[in-house]
Amino acid sequence: MKEVTATIITIGDELLIGQTIDTNSAFIGQELTKAGIWLKRRVAVGDVREEILDALAQQSRDNDIILVTGGLGPTADDITKPALCAYFGASLVVHEGALQNVTDIFNRLGKPVTDRNRRQAEVPDSCTVLPNQRGTAPGLWFEKDGVVYVAMPGVPHEMKGLLLDRVLPKIRERFTLPAIAHRTLLIAGKGESEIAEILENFEGSLPPSIKLAYLPAYGMVRLRLTGKGDEQSSLEAAVAARFDLLKGLVAEWMVADEDISLPEAVSRLLKSKGRTLATAESCTGGAIAQMFTARPGASALYNGGVVSYSNEAKQDLLNVSAATLASNGAVSEATVLEMARGARHALRTDYAVATSGIMGPDGGSPEKPVGTVWIAVAGAAEARAQKFSFRFDRARNIELTAHNALNFLRRFVLEMEGE
Amino acid sequence: MKEVTATIITIGDELLIGQTIDTNSAFIGQELTKAGIWLKRRVAVGDVREEILDALAQQSRDNDIILVTGGLGPTADDITKPALCAYFGASLVVHEGALQNVTDIFNRLGKPVTDRNRRQAEVPDSCTVLPNQRGTAPGLWFEKDGVVYVAMPGVPHEMKGLLLDRVLPKIRERFTLPAIAHRTLLIAGKGESEIAEILENFEGSLPPSIKLAYLPAYGMVRLRLTGKGDEQSSLEAAVAARFDLLKGLVAEWMVADEDISLPEAVSRLLKSKGRTLATAESCTGGAIAQMFTARPGASALYNGGVVSYSNEAKQDLLNVSAATLASNGAVSEATVLEMARGARHALRTDYAVATSGIMGPDGGSPEKPVGTVWIAVAGAAEARAQKFSFRFDRARNIELTAHNALNFLRRFVLEMEGE
């Protein structure tokens, strides 16, 4: 089967000058990979007509699909749409459906429709219009010399809706796609290069149709097997067999045998045991609470937490004793244990996790340098604390502390309650 | 002055398949722009030798600088370094300084140095080695036919250190760069297209050397003027004059007249008034706390907060009355006002901000659909609440709620205390 390949072309000065982080491309890459399309390249160009035309011409030489994002908003489309017209030999015309959509959106908002808004409904006359239910700029589907081109607005939730609802279904109709099988597992507590040593022979023994990828993520590693073939069920069986071998080799450090995040793994564990959780955060400042509450249905297991940034907050809300703080300091085993016990009590939960540390850049001392962190967990039977040392910048130290706290909690719950 | 142009080539399957979001390119883009280098393009290719070679050849045709990131880690460098050798006609040799660095790092970690680690110190013999103080893979600087190529590891904090400490200083020595001047302001409460209408004449009146950019960000817009010229002080004066005009046109919605985030603007405001803050978060689940605590020095103004996810937590920790919850529900004006007052009291602060809402996808009702949010602020003199409606997915609803809460707080503090 001939491989179907794609390139993403992202248009917009704001991406090149780094004012916007390109999250769209990661989303598109995931969806294309799941669909069995090989994303060969990603190219970002500025709001420059010649750059857009060159990128379209170059990328269409060795790709079946060109996905264009950005450059279609109300303040930016003066360059992209004329460039598309030039490339496809088309003229701009008003599309009645798109105009109705623009009018409906502004009527709902109770705002007047300006000329600039109305121009969002102008499209090149050679394209198929893909309705955008989340915004004013429609998707534009072109075909030229056997290559499919799709232009989508750059606003993430609009692009996502268009891609999933309109573009991918149309691509599946238009192309014959291969079978794809992925299996992913999550590892914590072992570095990428150590795991690579352990898996050297395993990786060497894989058939060419199955590849192993290392995907680092804050103190953890994701390992993914990807198989590509002609027939879905035999491919899945082949990948599953290798995945079982892989699981056996890394069992000691495996957090989950599917592609989920650590907060999701911990949430599932607590839900499966019918247990509730509270957080007491000093140095992570709400990061752990947010990891749980970002997930739908969090209220089933997460009662809440305290961000006890000041010592008074630790005393007033978590019942940490003034004597403990005075003799041990806020970043200490004794304090973090009292925080965990206090949160469990104050929020009436089965478990609590607590953090206290020095995230930097300031606040370190010779005894407690920046990166010193105490993490504690408390359950009905006991509480336990561990010291960690991180050596990165503030943002990364916070993320590492939060992730290590979740893994510390996970191991504690497993020990208390069994697998 | 001839413009100095650059392209970023990012190497790694993990970026194409969307398992990693490319934050490196945004950072590099910002730093290049600040330095007066025009980042023309960004290209991402997979771990495929031919793709890497093609990208190097193509991008060097019309650029002065090619920055390569990724593909140098312990499990990935089997493709990138040989490809660089092939491109530059070089051979891999062990670099003594880089080897010493690898050995030092593993000694500090108390871990053995494996062959795989040692290979990190192998470099193409035609390059200048740029020492990496944050990791094992050094930066590699090449020159060929007047074009500079720099390969850096993809780990963000390693790349950032190399770029700032080694690469940019060397680029400044090697090239004559233009004068650049940026001025940015932050707007809240007015949409991009409405602002664009207001600024149409202003934008049309700008000289060709000064450009206006719209940079959307969660319910806010950043406006940036960028000037490029030969002489720094006259350029800065010209941009400053236009910036004053711009400020006058958008004064009503301006949050800050510099390139800072909303959390930073609010933190500065509170610090300038010598005021302290507490948070009481239900639907934002710690997102607001995290916005403050992510910033160094947060403890000067932020005492802490409560993530009151359950009704019991609202009662026990924030003193919300059972009667209020029973008759109004958790998502109501009465509840969110009690939350704000309760947090201010419990954390002994001057101000408190509170959120309660339905973030989705579940939990909505005909009276209170998904996206319904109540935000309250409390000060010594009074408390005030406002209802908001958002219509996005859970993650975006949380971000919008957090940002609108900060802006609501900012306006309240300004009203209470004056500018």
State residue B75's pLDDT score. Answer: 62
Q: What angle do CA A257, A262, A264 make, to 5 degrees?
A: 85
Confidence of residue B260 (pLDDT cuts 50, 70, 90): confident
Beta carbons of A304 and B289 less than 8 Å apart: no
What is the CATH number that goes with domain B262-417? Answer: 3.90.950.20
Backbone φ and ψ for A221, nearest 5 degrees, come out as -130, 135
B304 CB neighbours in chain A (<8 A) are: 306-310, 313, 317
Q: Between residues A142 and A35, which one has the greater pLDDT?
A: A142
Map residue B59 onto helix, strand or coil: helix
- Where are the strands (E) in A219-368, listed by range? 220-229, 254-256, 277-281, 302-307, 351-357
ipTM of the complex: 0.81
Backbone φ and ψ for A383, nearest 5 degrees, come out as -125, 155
Decide if B296 touches A, using CB distance below 8 A: yes
Which of B18, B26, B43 is the closest to A30 by Cβ?
Answer: B18
Beta carbons of A196 and B74 less than 8 Å apart: yes
Residue A302, both tokens: 């997460």
Can you tell me the distance from the alpha carbon of A279 to that of A354, in angstroms, rounded to the nearest whole number?
6
Tens digits of residue pLDDT in A257-278: 988 889 999 999 999 999 999 9
Decide if A298 touches B, using CB distance below 8 A: yes
Tens digits of residue pLDDT in A61-87: 999 999 999 888 766 557 899 999 999
| Minimal C-alpha gap between B161 and chain A (Å) | 11
State residue A134's pLDDT score. Answer: 87
| Minimal C-alpha gap between B137 and chain A (Å) | 13
Closest-approach residue (CA) in chain A for B23: A21
Can you tell me the distance from the alpha carbon of B85 to that of A90, in angstroms, rounded to the nearest whole number?
45
Is the model's pLDDT at B242 over the cut of 70? Answer: yes
Which of A76, A313, A396 is the closest to B304 by Cβ?
Answer: A313
Can you tell me the distance from the alpha carbon of B95 to that of B97, in angstroms, rounded to the nearest whole number?
6
| Residue A195: Cβ within 10 Å count | 18
Q: Between residues B20 and B299, which one has the greater pLDDT?
A: B299
Q: Between residues A178 and B344, which one has the greater pLDDT?
A: B344
Beta carbons of A44 and B42 less than 8 Å apart: yes
Can you tell me the distance from the alpha carbon of A26 to that of A22, in angstroms, rounded to the nearest whole number?
8
Can you tell me the distance from the alpha carbon of A41 to that of B13, in angstroms, rounded to the nearest whole number?
10
State residue A216's pLDDT score. Answer: 67
Q: A322, exposed or middle or buried, with CB in 10 Å at 0-12, 13-18, 19+? A: exposed
Closest-approach residue (CA) in chain B for A115: B197
Q: Between residues A197 and A142, which one has the greater pLDDT?
A: A142
Q: Which of B7, B8, B9, B19 to mutate to test the interface with A (most CBs of A within 10 A)?
A: B19
- Is beta strand B147-152 parallel, antiparallel or unpaired with respect to B65-69? parallel
Decide if A51 touches B, using CB distance below 8 A: yes
Helices and strands, counts by H and E, chain B: 17, 17
State residue A22's pLDDT score. Answer: 87
Tens digits of residue pLDDT in A4-39: 999 999 998 888 888 778 889 999 998 998 888 999
| Residue B58: Cβ within 10 Å count | 15
Beta carbons of A25 and B22 less than 8 Å apart: yes
| Minimal C-alpha gap between B231 and chain A (Å) | 21
Residue A102, both tokens: 């623009």
Tens digits of residue pLDDT in B102-155: 999 888 878 888 888 889 999 999 999 999 988 889 999 999 999 999 999 988
Is the model's pLDDT at B280 over the cut of 70? Answer: yes
State residue B1's pLDDT score. Answer: 65
- Cα-based distances in Å from B180 to A73, A134, B152, B165: 27, 37, 26, 21
Tens digits of residue pLDDT in A223-267: 989 898 989 999 999 999 999 999 999 998 998 898 888 999 999
Beta carbons of B42 and A296 less than 8 Å apart: no
First to last CA, chain B: 43
State residue A191's pLDDT score. Answer: 79
Q: Is the bond leading into A366 cis (omega within 30 degrees of zero)?
A: no
Is the model's pLDDT at B334 over the cut of 60? Answer: yes
State residue A14's pLDDT score. Answer: 80
What is the CATH number that goes with domain B5-174? Answer: 3.40.980.10
Can you tell me the distance from the alpha carbon of B349 to that of B302, in angstroms, rounded to the nearest whole number?
8
Tens digits of residue pLDDT in A84-137: 999 999 999 999 999 999 999 888 878 888 888 889 999 999 999 999 988 889
Amino acid occupying residue A396: R
Cβ neighbours for B116, distance < 8 A, ≥ 6 positions apart: A193, A196, A197, B74, B75
Confidence of residue B79 (pLDDT cuts 50, 70, 90): confident
Is the model's pLDDT at B7 over the cut of 80? Answer: yes
State residue A23's pLDDT score. Answer: 87
Largest interatomic CA distance in chain B: 78
Which of A22, A346, A394 is the closest to B25 by Cβ?
Answer: A22
Can you tell me the distance from the alpha carbon of B417 to that of B419, in angstroms, rounded to the nearest whole number?
7
Q: What percent of chain B has pLDDT over 70?
A: 98
First to last CA, chain A: 43
What is the radius of gyration, based on Cα positions, of chain B? 26
What is the pLDDT of chain B when averaged over all its residues? 92
State residue A76's pLDDT score. Answer: 58
Domain boundaries, chain A: 5-174, 179-256, 262-417
Q: Is the bond leading into B361 cis (omega within 30 degrees of zero)?
A: yes
Decide if A31 touches B, using CB distance below 8 A: yes
Decide if B20 touches A, using CB distance below 8 A: yes
Look at A64-78, A367-381, B3-17, B254-268 and tell me which has the smallest mean pLDDT.
Answer: A64-78
Residue A363, both tokens: 């606040």
Class of domain B179-256: alpha beta
Name residue B179's beta-bridge partners.
Answer: B229
Decide if B202 touches A, using CB distance below 8 A: no
Beta carbons of B307 and A305 less than 8 Å apart: yes
Residues 64-123 of B with CB under 8 A from A: 73-76, 111, 114, 116-117
Which of A14, A40, A310 is the closest to B304 by Cβ?
Answer: A310
Q: What percent of chain B has pLDDT over 90?
A: 74
Confidence of residue B216 (pLDDT cuts 50, 70, 90): low
Decide if B259 touches A, using CB distance below 8 A: no
Q: Please give the model's pTM, rounded to 2 decimal places.
A: 0.82
Decide if A20 touches B, using CB distance below 8 A: yes
A395 CB neighbours in chain B (<8 A) are: 294
Q: Between residues A363 and B280, which one has the greater pLDDT?
A: B280
- Where are the strands (E) in A13-91, listed by range? 38-45, 65-69
Residues 330-349 of B with CB under 8 A from A: 346-348
Amino acid occupying residue B5: T
- Where are the strands (E) in B233-338, listed by range? 254-256, 277-281, 302-307
Residue B82, both tokens: 């040989």
* Helix extents (H) in A138-261: 156-162, 168-174, 192-198, 200-204, 232-250
Which of B18, B74, B194 is the closest to A192 by Cβ?
Answer: B74
Q: What angle do CA B245, A70, A17 make, to 5 degrees?
A: 55
Closest by CA position to A413, among listed A351, A342, A354, A355:
A351
Can you tell me the distance from the alpha carbon of B42 to that of A44, in angstroms, rounded to the nearest whole number?
5
Is the model's pLDDT at A162 over the cut of 70? Answer: yes
Beta carbons of B394 and A287 less than 8 Å apart: no
What is the radius of gyration, based on Cα positions, of chain A? 26
pLDDT (average), residues B68-81: 78
Name residue B124's beta-bridge partners.
Answer: B92
* Helix extents (H) in B329-393: 333-346
Can you tell me the distance from the alpha carbon of B294 to that of B266, in angstroms, rounded to the nearest whole number?
13
Confidence of residue B199 (pLDDT cuts 50, 70, 90): very high
B222 CB neighbours in chain A (<8 A) are: 19
Beta carbons of A18 and B25 less than 8 Å apart: yes
Beta carbons of A286 and B293 less than 8 Å apart: yes
Look at B36-50, B212-226, B383-397 and tell me which has the smallest mean pLDDT.
Answer: B212-226
Residue A267, both tokens: 């949430």
A393 CB neighbours in chain B (<8 A) are: 157
What is the pLDDT of chain A when averaged over all its residues? 92
Residues 302-321 of B with CB under 8 A from A: 302-310, 312-313, 316-317
A277 CB neighbours in chain B (<8 A) are: none
Q: Would you report the helix, strand and coil content of chain A in percent, each value rounded to 5?
A: 45, 25, 30
Chain position carrying tokens 């060109």: A66
- The count of C-alpha atoms lying within 13 angstroms of the C-alpha of A219, restricted to the half-sphere facing its C-beta, is 23
Can you tell me the distance from the alpha carbon of B86 to that of B264, in angstroms, rounded to the nearest whole number?
48
Can you tell me the distance from the alpha carbon of B101 to that of B136, in angstroms, rounded to the nearest whole number?
7
Tens digits of residue pLDDT in B163-193: 999 999 999 999 999 988 989 999 987 877 7
* Helix extents (H) in B251-282: 262-273
Chain position carrying tokens 């023994």: A205
For chains A and B, what is the number of CB pairs under 8 angstroms? 281
Which of A75, A299, A306 is the closest to B310 by Cβ?
Answer: A299
State residue A74's pLDDT score. Answer: 67
B214 CB neighbours in chain A (<8 A) are: 75-76
Beta carbons of A20 and B215 less than 8 Å apart: yes
State residue B77's pLDDT score. Answer: 54
Closest-approach residue (CA) in chain B for A259: B19
Decide if A279 touches B, using CB distance below 8 A: yes
Q: Are B287 and B399 in contact (CB under 8 A)?
A: yes
Map residue A25 onto helix, strand or coil: helix
Look at A182-186, A198-202, A214-218, A291-295 and tell me which has the smallest mean pLDDT.
Answer: A214-218
pLDDT (average), residues B81-97: 95
Q: Which of A290, A388, A389, A399 to mutate to test the interface with B (most CBs of B within 10 A)?
A: A290
Q: Which of A159, A307, A317, A388 to mutate to test the interface with B (most CBs of B within 10 A)?
A: A307
3-state per-residue secondary structure call for B123-145: EECCCEEECCCCCCCCEEEEEEC
Q: Are A397 and A389 in contact (CB under 8 A)?
A: no
Map residue B281 onto helix, strand or coil: strand
Beta carbons of B18 and A41 less than 8 Å apart: no
Name residue B22's beta-bridge partners.
Answer: A22
Which of A197, A289, A347 is the closest to B286 by Cβ?
Answer: A289
Which of B29, B193, B285 is the closest to A17 by Cβ?
Answer: B29
| Minimal C-alpha gap between A159 and chain B (Å) | 13
| Residue A56: Cβ within 10 Å count | 24
Can you tell me the distance from the alpha carbon of A115 to that of A105, in angstroms, rounded to the nearest whole number?
14
Beta carbons of A296 and B394 less than 8 Å apart: yes
State residue A415's pLDDT score. Answer: 94
